[in-house]
Structure 1
Amino acid sequence: MAPARWTLATCLVLLLLLPFAPGPARAATPTPAKSPSSSSSAVFQLQGDVYPTGHYYVTMNIGDPAKPYFLDVDTGSDLTWLQCDAPCQSCNKVPHQLYKPTKTKLVPCAASACATLHGAQSPSKKCAVPQQCDYQIKYTDSASSLGVLVADNFMLNLRNSSSIRASLTFGCGYDQQVGKNGVAQAATDGLLGLGKGSISLVSQLNQQGITKNVIGHCLSTNGGGFLFFGDDVIPTSLATWVPMVRSTSGNYYSPGSGTLYFDRLSLGVKSMEVVFDSGSTYTYFAAQPYQATISALKAGLSKSLTQVSDPSLPLCWKGQKVFKSVSDVKKDFKSLFLSFGKNSFMAIPPENYLIVTKYGNVCLGILDGSAAKLNFSVIGDITMQDQIIIYDNERGQLGWIRGSCSRSTKPTMPFHDHFSDLNH
């Protein structure tokens, strides 16, 4: 996958006919469901950045004995998967030794998790290999992961000072294809699917009574940040909340239609459907809002900025001196605003839509969604920076709180010990 990756728009699960090398498996004993405790939340440190890494990732300890793996955090996909030695047919270079499954870890075709994964896409198909559940996920940039479902232990440290071993279902990917941008995602071992579907990791934790079905992340402009599962990590009274609506384009996290403003003035374009996706490095606007944004930006730019070609992004400018950070140039750009309903606004200041490249140019991190064949708009990592974004599946709402995400967090420490100056 490329740094300017796009993993949301078309996530297709297919039933395949490839036999899995380890052979038949025993079905795992299900964990009884119970009501999650409000205090059983988990907090994880994040690594990565928008530029030049192109993604944020978390360390998950998986297996028995548990081994660390880096997973790309993606709220736009449901299925978590690891590149694995099953054996591997086509794998990218990864930071850790490939995950190696055993026969007992295979999820059989008759399992409910397999039915959930395939249900909407291929309800009439039957399994060619009953002992396994095959999958293939294709992404809009033509990247893909092909493999089988397995169930293995995830070790989680909870904020109530306890540790838990949860048996969770995920993909064992033995054939990965790089997207059309042609850059392998070498910094990660796989992908952490945190979408709305019941196969997503946080949905499984909720079904087992471990955490509430609430996800949040805070991505720092300085790199890193944190991810959390559960509903007692953030002070909800500080958040701007909007109802989570059903996306017309798929089962994605959407606050509905948003109206775009530039410097608090209407751009004169109709409202656009918006989705939140941490699996997208950059933000994508639908065709009309994108063109209106470009026109407004260019009209207000200083004459000291000259448009320049830069391989990093499509639209870039150079100054009289080389830029070292966005703070060097943000005075020349105005803030954007998205309005949801009557009283819910998301501010998008210059630092939430600009990057400075290694060539010393400033580039626009808002891209043309129509070029990616999207008919809706996407809030990606660049716009989520230094905001806590909350995906509350319990109450059916999305929220955000502006504040620094640079501070380190520990699973057992109260939120306000780290963020007492939030919103100041």
Structure 2
Amino acid sequence: MPSSMAISYYFLFLLFPSVLRLFLDDCSDRKVEAYGFKEMTQNFQSQSHVVSLSSLMPAQVCSTPAQGSDILSRGELQVTHKHGPCSPLKEANKKIPSLTQILMDDRSRIKFIHSKISNQDLVTNFASKIPANSGYSLGTENFVVRIGLGTPMQNLTLILDTGSDLTWVQCQPCVANCYLQQDPLFNPSASSTYSNITCNSHACAQLQQSTGNSRSCNTTCIYQIAYGDGSSYSEGYFATDTLTLSDLSSSDNVFPKFEFGCGENNQGQFGSADGLLGLGRNQVSMVSQTAQKYRKLFSYCLPSTRSSTGFLAFGSQVGDHDHHSSSSSSAPQYTPLLIDSNIPSFYFITMMGISVGGKNLSIPQSVFTTSGTIIDSGTVITRLPPAAYSALRSAFRQAMSEYPVYSIEYTYVMLDTCYNLNGYDTITIPTIVLHFAGGVNLSIDQSGILIQANKTHYCLAFAGNNAGNDLGILGNLQQRGIEVIYNVTGGKLGFGTSACSTETAVSTPPPMTAPAPAPAPHPMETQALCTSINIILPQQLI
């Protein structure tokens, strides 16, 4: 005579296929509703970082990641922080700016970008001489690369900027004014391949179209460019010469007749760098001028700390994970690149949502579509729409509730969520994931979540815009440590694996807690449930 327990198991066995089918059907429907965030459960497995505070402090010694030694041998350019110990600009290290100064300069840059959207002119002091048609405050938290210019090659250190088109350098004889730079000024007369561009040339017309520069021209094409802080500018001859992007004895990375600005009247917040490398989208940018060779394909990995190095890659070197990362073999995730006719130089992307500590925040999609979002290598702190930032801040504060708050708001310009961590060696911070169109999930490196303000104060490294229609910006602090891939021709932006990170954070699994009664799960939560279900059968039925 079978026992009552055996009979129960028998009926459970008969009902199990039907129940399982209903469950899986519901999962299938829920996955369709889940906003296209693919593989979300993989990102949610780690809800926090255990961070050593010493890893967020500036180091005095250059520490190149293991994969950094072969960057130059492969024809890539090494990227360093302008004020770090790895920088070729040793003079810059003598004048390291405070966080307050960095944020003030960053705010100037943001203000000018926003003014470009609304067609406002913020430059007044220099407007009578150089109109503010392109560029903005470069700030102080920039990254630099070394390039070669001329024949024979003269080495120069330039600020890389995805928000600018025109590449320019300071030139001899500097007839008007030049700021102090570390390297010798570029000497056009010492290059056998240097040539000025004439006024009636197609190249001069392109310059005017790309920059809005309409200055009268008699014989030689003149460029002039002003920046949004009202005191930074460059002016000189629009010229051509040979650009070299590698120390290798190969012609693969050599570009004759490269168009650039040879500046003889320059002033502003450029530190001791020799000029600027324009990586924007317009015709005069380096990306467009090298399109025949590189197909408008480039990537960079911004070093996660001031004391480490990254890379700038072009063409076939982009996305080469075998030598950039040994920890992961996953392919980059791509989101569409969009164009805005008001500011065509910038790279627009579509933000979809934010997760903190493995939980998707309840932010209406209209919050992000109203503002729009660009990715920018020159902006430091990511700017979010006010509603999105408010949700992020609330979730972050809740996760950090065990730590003492530094309660004086906006002591550090726009940062309003700061902590006094005096006496702590390590802390636990929640993970932050930004979600973009196409199911792309960007997990922010620990160095992009907290920023050190002083010896004891650390702040959330995000800020909110003033208005809901102000342009959102993915800043460089949140891009660090990963390969960011710009496939301009293909119309897509990729986030690759950890390529130059020195991250030492330890990921911890979510705590095991008893489930509490709750309303119907959000589609995101249902997807995680459906993709991670484990069904256990009674041992008697196996």
Structure-1-length-normalised TM-score: 0.73
What aligned pairs does 1:306-385 form with structure 2 within 5 A after superposition?
306-307=405-406, 314-315=415-416, 316-321=418-423, 328-329=426-427, 331=428, 333-341=429-437, 343-370=439-466, 375-385=470-480
Q: Which residue of 2 aligns with 1:213?
A: 296
Kindly state the Cα deviation for residue 322 of structure 1 after the two structures are TM-superposed: 6.3
> Which residue is 2:209 aligned to?
119
Counterpart for residue 83 of structure 1: 170
| Deviation of the 1:390 alpha carbon | 0.3
Q: Distance in 2 between matches of 1:290 and 1:140?
A: 26
Relative to structure 1, is the Cα distance of residues 122 and 246 closer, same or farther in structure 2, using a 3 angstrom cutoff?
closer
Residues 361-395 of structure 1 show CA distances to partners (whole Å, capped at 9, x for unaligned) of 21232233339x98111112111111100000121
The Cα of 1:53 is off from its aligned counterpart by 6.7
Q: Deviation of residue 216 (structure 1)? A: 0.1
Distance 1:74 1:297, change over 3 A: same
Partner of 1:132: 221
> Take 1:100 and 1:393, find their aligned partners in 2: how far apart are those partners?
33
1:389-404 to 2 correspondences below 5 Å: 389-404=484-499
Alpha-carbon distance, 1:238 to partner: 0.5
1:248: Cα distance to partner? 6.1
Match of 2:333 among 224, 240, 245: 240
Q: Of 174, 183, 207, which aligns to 2:264?
A: 174
1:106 aligns with 2:228: no
Greater helix share, structure number: 2
> What displacement does 1:119 show?
1.8
CA distance in 2, matches of 1:348, 1:406: 11
Choose from 152, 155, 167 the match for 2:244: 155
Structure 1: which amino acid aligns with 2:389? Y
- Structure 2: how far apart are the matches of 1:133 and 1:301? 54
% identical equivalent positions? 23
Q: What is the aligned counterpart of 1:258 among 322, 342, 352? A: 352
The answer to whether the Cα contact below 8 Å between 2:353 and 2:363 also exists between their aligned partners in 1 is: no
Q: 1:96 to 1:241 in 2, by over 3 A?
A: same
TM-aligned CA distance change 1:100 to 1:288, over 3 Å: farther
Q: What CA deviation, in whole Å up to 9, does each residue of 1:140-189 have, x standing for no partner?
A: 676333333121221233889555532311122333343xxxxx332421
Q: Is the 8 A contact 2:353 2:360 kept in 1?
A: no
RMSD after superposition: 3.6
Q: Distance in 2 between matches of 1:311 and 1:141?
A: 23
Change (3 A) 1:253 1:127: same
Q: 1:389 is matched by which residue type in structure 2? A: V
Q: What is the aligned partner in structure 2 of residue 46 from structure 1?
A: none
How far the C-alpha of 1:245 sits from its partner, in A, is 1.2
**144, 154, 173: which is aligned to 1:67?**
154
What's the offset of the Cα at 1:249? 5.0
CA contact (8 A) 2:235 2:264 kept: yes
Q: Give the residue type in structure 1 aligned to 2:301.
A: C
**How far apart in 2 are the matches of 1:141 and 1:387?**
34
Shift in alpha-carbon separation, 1:80–1:110, aligned structure 2, 3 A: same
For 1:291 and 1:339, how far apart are their aligned partners in 2? 17
Contact 2:141–2:378 under 8 Å retained in 1: no
Aligned partners of 1:258 and 1:274 also within 8 Å = no
CA distance 1:81–1:389, shift in 2 (3 Å): same
Is the deviation greater in 126-135 or in 2-11? 2-11
User: Equivalents in 2 of 1:312, 1:173: separation in Å?
Assistant: 33
The residue type paired with residue 210 of structure 1 is K
CA distance in 2, matches of 1:348, 1:87: 43
Aligned to 2:136: none
Aligned to 2:392: 293
Contact 2:299 2:313 in 1 (8 A): yes
CA distance in 2, matches of 1:55, 1:215: 18
Question: Contact 2:415 / 2:462 at 8 angstroms: preserved in 1?
Answer: no
Q: TM-score, normalised by structure 2?
A: 0.58
Q: Distance in 1 between matches of 2:141 and 2:150?
A: 28
Task: State the alpha-carbon separation in 2 of the partners of residues 215 and 117 from structure 1.
Answer: 22
Amino acid at match of 1:112: H
Q: What do residues 80-139 of structure 1 show as CA deviations (whole Å, max 9, x unaligned)?
A: 11123342534332121222334963222222222112126659x573333222222323
What is the number of equivalent residue pairs in this alignment? 359
- For residues 61 and 240 of structure 1, the distance between their equivalents in structure 2, rounded to whole angstroms, comes to 33
- Pick which of 398-407 and 188-197 moved more: 398-407
Structure 1 residues 111 and 385 mapped into 2: Cα distance closer, same or farther (>3 Å)?
same
Which has the larger Rg?
2
Q: Which amino acid aligns with 1:340?
A: F
CA contact (8 A) 1:254 1:275 kept: yes
Amino acid at match of 1:277: D
Q: C-alpha separation between the residues in 2 aligned to 1:16 and 1:106? A: 25
Query: Is 2:372 the counterpart of 1:271?
Result: no
Residue 271 (structure 1) shift: 2.1
Q: What is the rounded CA distance, in whole Å, between the counterparts of 1:90 and 1:114 in structure 2?
A: 24
One-letter code of the match for 1:117? L
Structure 1 equivalent of residue 52 of structure 2: none
CA distance in 2: counterparts of 1:296 and 1:117, whole angstroms: 47
